[in-house]
Amino acid sequence: MENKLKTFLLLAGLTVFLIFMGKIIGGRTGMYVAFLLALAMNFFSYWYSDKIVLRMYGAQEVSAAEAPALHHMVEELAREAGIPKPKVYIIPDDSPNAFATGRNPEHAAVAVTQGIMRILTPTELKGVLAHEMGHVKNRDILIQTVAATMAGAIMILADMARFAAIFRGGREDEDGPGILGIIVMSIIAPLAAMLIQMAISRSREYLADETGAHLAHNPESLARALEKLQTASQVTPMTASPATAHMFIVNPLTGGTLMNLFSTHPPIEERVARLRAMRSY
């Protein structure tokens, strides 16, 4: 419940930023334009983002005959979660990782890399798949897509506001924040939007870990898998787009302390500690 409330408040914060940026650019009309921009971007993301990301990583759908063990795990977890069985994909990449996509449980897909199937035991792999099924059950994919799209819309509006302020020259708007204020806000707002998006993503990761542990009836299997993935993904990094990094079970992007501040994923150590604090099911 805490994670759900936090997500709601953070999405509300993104909405406020979006409307505010629209108002800065064009007053009431700008607010409507901002709303329509976000609506159009969300519509496109809702219908096409799953196809785009699967194609982006070369994911190939596999049948039950081609990957019987994988299909059996997905089918068992889907039954446990009370949702339709998602389509199953394998990504031809040696870096160990996995993600779920799809606009709702009826149109979902889970994708795992060849690397993750190679290094995890069947029990650990089931823990990972349970985490991804948790995302599907909790409709995290839609929530994270909306958050990423709104953050993107805010960045676009911030660029428009900055250019509008520059081309306005020395003319000040009596009802507005002024040219300097617009420029400052056009820098701060995208940064704040990005931080909010990251916070939403981290919150949903914790929730998917918890749901996955319930579905697999074994928090330890996911905990062990996360520890393995953290080490192995650093040894064999994945070439991934920052725009889709939030989808993976472990962050495919590497970086230092500053990068961790803007990470879409909570620290692995914290996730593992939370899982091990849960009682066995």
Are 208 and 159 within 8 A, CB to CB? no
pLDDT tens per residue across span 194-252 = 787 788 888 889 999 999 999 999 999 999 999 999 999 888 989 888 878 888 999 98
pLDDT digits (tens, 9 = 90+) for 160-191: 777 766 665 545 555 555 677 677 777 777 78
Count other Cβ atoms within 10 Å, centred on residue 230.
17
**Which residue(s) pair with 173 in the sheet?**
none
Q: State how far the Cα of 88 lies from the Cα of 100, in Å rounded to an integer.
A: 10
Prediction pTM value: 0.80
Find the domain containing 173 and state its range. Answer: 2-277
- Residues acting as catalytic residues: 132
Q: Which of 88, 61, 83, 58 is nearest to 72 (CA)?
A: 88
Query: 54 or 190: which carries more pLDDT confidence?
Result: 54
Total number of domains constituting the chain? 1
> What's the mean pLDDT when you consider all of the chain?
83
Nearest partner of 96 among 255, 206, 248, 218, judged by Cα: 248
| CA 56 and chain centroid, separation | 16
What is the C-alpha separation between 85 and 228, in angstroms, rounded? 27
Return the sign of the alpha-carbon dihedral for residues 251, 260, 213, 225. Answer: positive
DSSP letter assigned to residue 62: -
Q: How far is CA 161 from CA 36, 43, 149, 158, in A?
A: 17, 24, 18, 5
Note the pLDDT of residue 126. Answer: 97
Mapped onto helix, strand or coil, the DSSP state of residue 270 is helix
Express each pLDDT in 80-126 by its tens digit.
999 999 999 999 999 999 999 988 899 999 999 999 999 999 999 99
